[in-house]
Structure 1
Amino acid sequence: MKPNNTKFSFTPHGGGIRGADSPRSSSTFEGRFGRIFRELPAAKHSKDDLLKLALLMTAPPEMDDKGKPAAALETADHIQDDEENAGIPAGYTYFGQFIDHDITFDPMSSLMQQNDPEGLVDFRTPRLDLDNMYGRGPADQPYMYIDNKFRLGKALFANSKPTPSRDLPRYRDPENTGTSARALIGDKRNDENVIVSQLHSAFLQLHNRLVDEDAFKDATFEEIQRQVRWHYQYVVLNDFLPHICGKELIDEIMPFRLKHGSAADKKPKLQFFHYRNDPYIPLEFSVAAYRFGHSMVRPIYRLNTELKGGDNPDEATTEEKARGLEGRFFIFAGVNKRALNGFGEFPDQWAIDWSLFFDINGSGKKGGKERAQPAYKIDTSLVNPLGFLPEFSVVKDLVPPLTVAQMQPAPVNAMADPANLAARNLLRGLSMGMPSGQDIARAMGLSVIPDNELRVGKAIVDELEKAPTLVSISPAFADNAPLWYYVLAEAQHSWLKKAKHGGKGDEEPLALGPMGGRIVAETLIGLIAGDPQSFLHQDPNWLPFVGGRDSTVGKLVNYALTGQK
């Protein structure tokens, strides 16, 4: 494939990765980006066909049906909507985003980018080492640190109730009072929404909490940093990936992951992701498979149980009560302070109760407002707010009380507007010459999903088989599905069989399918296994100080804020 010489900067959603436009052709090279299936041809699609698919993949706005709640009412017995995934709490969506920002971290200045236009030769290799958090360290970025600890921002509250949560440290230019207060962190993308912003802050507090532990009282900054990195790597391998890819697949790749064993025992069994010395980021992963998380985004989230309304945190409006929006917020919206848009200060009352995002102290089994909110299912439908990404949309300042229609802009026309995330993903795959999903499935020795079973819609048992087929959009999609779409379609196709025949119906947990799951799992496992500083290399039988063998993301966050191990 002829390289595309267009230069891209890092963008939060669906954008390019500098240097990825000129990937190496070998699957065993040393470098930053490459291809696993380099022999496969690029799938050919027209831009119009992809935009039609994107429009169909974007759910309609909730405001169309005035009689329907924008979100299910949070009664005490309410645990799951049909669109929700019983197997994955919502926090994993944003932990996945946090991982993405770590492995695509770019420390180069604009001057370096000018001197290194392709961004390939002089880049460090990608690792799960929290460079998005640590930046270049206290010696080079002292404004992020106080001695061995991270600098933290203002205290946050659950409405008026004090919490241990803190905002990110921020700087406001005193000579430009109208500008946003920018976060002083290692990667600005970790402030792109309120949830990933507070998750980043929790990891800053994890570092600071370990500094204060008696067990590490004599530890250097570098030793604490290693502990935090190893905890992070451990939960990626043993918590995040089993949720996303399925425990069975992770056990197949790492049969000794939770057992004591030799270094040889602990070595992952990678079938397709191979590298010579240092691992790289496969384009099949970054451009397609790892974008599964976009389908997990919920339209609406509850941050804590103390918030009662949006316009007024102490009282919900009549419409908020009727539409299920009491104390809950759209992930993105067209009105400031009524959505979880980022890159600036948010209200002090918006402290996140992480038991609403991870299963902490049994919250995964609770109902109503105290439940751990599930992520949405991994399927071929994206919620409507992802049709108008805030960085490409106009955000208004309106005086409350506000209606739902005012908060949620009219749906973006994906045929003409680059703000639609599905369109950006599909066009990105086209520009990068991604093979079809069917070709990669065959290359992996997997059965190809028949065209008449590739659907576009929500993974709901009673609806999916009635949804339009991919080939109904265009016959050009016959045996030629875009890779990102196929990863999502494979997940819902595998799930539907289990849901119909396993007795759980829509409560059947949904993970990635065999192709998408293996690309994601082998890439992340390979990045850790190929890092000479990772715990798999240094001490493969190491167990976390926080949570031990059963450590999870939720346990790390809970410990960071409360000290509870």
Structure 2
Amino acid sequence: MDIARDHCLAPARVDAPIFGGRYRLLFDDLPPLTADETALHALGRPGGPCDGADVTDDADSAVAAVWPFFGQFIAHDITADRSPLVDRAATAELRNARAPKADLEGLYGAGPVGMPYLYRSDDPAKLLLAPNGSDLPRNHEGIALVGDPRNDVQLFTSQLAVAFVKLHNRLVDRLRDDGVADEQLFDAARQAATWHYQHVILREFLPGLIGAELTAELLESGPRLFRIDSDPYIPFEFADAAYRYGHAQIRNRYRVNERLGARPLFPDLMGFGPVPPEHAVDWTLQIDVAGHAPAQRSERIDGRLPAPLIALPTQVSGSEPGSDYASLATRDLQRGQAVGLASGEAIADRLGVPALSAEQVGLAQYGWDGETPLWFYILKEADALHEGEQLGPVGGRIVGEVLVGIIDADPASFRSLDPGWMPTLPARRAGAFGLADILVPPV
């Protein structure tokens, strides 16, 4: 999920270089779904079928609240510019050919030599934090010093970046205690942090999102549709439809910590400014941690977005709240049409899975009589087949193939260098290291 770029609409059916990655269609032989603009806007605007303003947080899923934000963190990472120091104009062709990676480049930037302002001057193997330790480092105007400024778009992604900085620094201390030479510390800690992160993506995040069976198939046999070995790209079907599932998971309000009362994501938890210690996220409220009460949950993936996303603040959308373009649902639907995505039914047919019925899609009552925009179809597929707890066969296949494919194609990933590797950091449950052990390290 990527709220940070949602004020931009991509052009129709073109190769679009964005943040160093080339985007194109995965199913480029399928005809695009072309819908009437007025009808499309009617689906996404306030009062339409995507408006979940009347949904209370009592209708939670079983999914902990942190996961859609972790998904957004991954989205920023795999679209990070792979060469921040080179002349962008002169090397556009080279950058467009670079493969997307899940390697925490949004955290590390160009490393201690290329971006020394991200690192501690007294210990350059370690990343820098704000003096209070609860925020990213910032300049005198409050702008975050971070490899990818999109990670400062709202409080939860900003605080995830802080957690991964602490993970890296903890690994530096551990490796130093193990006798690793100073000149090797940074590279060793970066590899270890990246492999723990990739482990969470493949062995915890994906099984929860697309199901254990599909995840196991992809890890065993690899993707069958998405290959980036010789032509690196990110599919529009992923970026502008399937991976926007997380918009439906956002709660109306979040308890950030015990001191800060329940707040909407926008505008209250908007980023791009200093995070005082009293606003630091208590991760035990966002992800289940042994010894603590159950965390808040995400909303179900069901085609409805919460009020803060149906009426985005003008600072995010550039439009007046209540207007069509202040609705993230309208923007998601418009993006799908702009890049020429096929309908959900057409892609289901191509994948050989039964398409949803008109009753399951539920748009007939709104006067919609054609096939379904892919983004909305994927949300309704999750709702109809899994009660909104995980993606269905179309959404799950697209998301799973892309994330596994990206990590498998990275020659530095643990899947490439040491497929049997397991986390070395302590976990609360033996053999079950997960995101909670990064966010709230075991004592």
Q: TM-score, normalised by structure 1?
A: 0.70
Change (3 A) 1:43 1:122: closer
Q: Kindly indicate whether the alpha-carbon contact (under 8 Å) linking 1:58 and 1:386 is maintained by their aligned counterparts in 2.
A: no
Amino acid at match of 2:374: L
Which of 286, 290, 296 is 2:249 aligned to? 296
1:240 Cα deviation after fit: 0.5
Larger Rg: 1
Q: Is residue 210 from structure 1 mapped to residue 163 from structure 2 by the alignment? A: no
Which of 283, 286, 306 is 1:357 aligned to? 286
2: CA distance, partners of 1:144 / 1:18: 31
Amino acid at match of 1:201: V
1:389-428 map, 5 Å: 389-390=312-313, 392=315, 412-414=322-324, 418-428=325-335
Amino acid at match of 1:293: G
Which of 423, 426, 435 is 1:544 aligned to? 423
1:521 matched residue in structure 2: 400
2: CA distance, partners of 1:225 / 1:210: 8
2:14 matched residue in structure 1: 22
1:555 Cα deviation after fit: 1.1
Q: Kindly indicate whether the alpha-carbon contact (under 8 Å) linking 1:384 and 1:411 is maintained by their aligned counterparts in 2.
A: no
1: CA distance, partners of 2:380 / 2:277: 40
Which of 345, 348, 369 is 1:441 aligned to? 348
Q: Is residue 85 from structure 1 mapped to residue 61 from structure 2 by the alignment? A: yes
Render the CA deviation track for 1:297-316: whole Å, top value 9, x for unaligned: 111111122x1xx6xxxxxx
Render the CA deviation track for 1:426-453: whole Å, top value 9, x for unaligned: 1111110000000000000010111122
Amino acid at match of 2:396: G
Change (3 A) 1:11 1:341: closer
How many aligned residue pairs are there?
A: 426
Change (3 A) 1:279 1:107: closer
1:217 Cα deviation after fit: 4.2
1: CA distance, partners of 2:202 / 2:103: 14
1:373 matched residue in structure 2: 296
Q: Is residue 229 from structure 1 mapped to residue 158 from structure 2 by the alignment? A: no
Change (3 A) 1:434 1:21: closer
Of 243-252 and 229-238, deviating more is 243-252
1:15-414 map, 5 Å: 15-16=7-8, 22-23=14-15, 32-55=22-45, 56-59=48-51, 61=53, 81-82=58-59, 84-86=60-62, 88-106=63-81, 112=87, 114=89, 122-146=96-120, 147-155=124-132, 166-173=134-141, 181-213=142-174, 214-215=177-178, 217-218=180-181, 219-255=184-220, 268-277=221-230, 279-305=232-258, 307=259, 327-333=261-267, 339-363=268-292, 366=293, 371-390=294-313, 392=315, 412-414=322-324
1:15 Cα deviation after fit: 4.7
2:214 counterpart SS class: helix
1:22 Cα deviation after fit: 2.4
Change (3 A) 1:216 1:357: farther
Which of 367, 372, 378 is 1:487 aligned to? 378
1:21 Cα deviation after fit: 5.9
Unmatched runs of 5 consecutive residues or more in structure 2 = none
1:411 Cα deviation after fit: 5.5
Q: Kindly indicate whether the alpha-carbon contact (under 8 Å) linking 1:169 and 1:185 is maintained by their aligned counterparts in 2.
A: yes
Identity %: 36
Change (3 A) 1:57 1:168: farther
Change (3 A) 1:393 1:191: closer
Change (3 A) 1:281 1:120: farther
2: CA distance, partners of 1:543 / 1:18: 39
1:328 counterpart SS class: coil
1:420 Cα deviation after fit: 1.3
Render the CA deviation track for 1:86-105: whole Å, top value 9, x for unaligned: 1x101111110100000111
Q: TM-score, normalised by structure 2?
A: 0.88
2:263 counterpart SS class: strand
Q: Kindly indicate whether the alpha-carbon contact (under 8 Å) linking 1:300 and 1:329 is maintained by their aligned counterparts in 2.
A: yes
1: CA distance, partners of 2:393 / 2:417: 30
1:269 Cα deviation after fit: 3.1
2: CA distance, partners of 1:551 / 1:40: 41
Change (3 A) 1:111 1:21: farther
Q: Kindly indicate whether the alpha-carbon contact (under 8 Å) linking 2:11 and 2:338 is maintained by their aligned counterparts in 1.
A: no
1:58 Cα deviation after fit: 4.1
2: CA distance, partners of 1:239 / 1:295: 20
Amino acid at match of 2:146: I
1:32 Cα deviation after fit: 3.0
1:237 counterpart SS class: helix
2:436 counterpart SS class: helix
1:12 counterpart SS class: helix
1:493 counterpart SS class: helix
Change (3 A) 1:393 1:279: closer
Amino acid at match of 2:35: H
Unmatched runs of 5 consecutive residues or more in structure 1 = 1-9, 25-30, 63-69, 73-80, 156-164, 174-180, 256-267, 311-326, 334-338, 396-408, 456-469, 497-508
Q: Kindly indicate whether the alpha-carbon contact (under 8 Å) linking 1:57 and 1:422 is maintained by their aligned counterparts in 2.
A: no
2: CA distance, partners of 1:34 / 1:58: 27
2:410 counterpart SS class: coil
Amino acid at match of 2:136: L
The structure with more helix, counted as a fraction of residues: 2
Amino acid at match of 1:473: Y
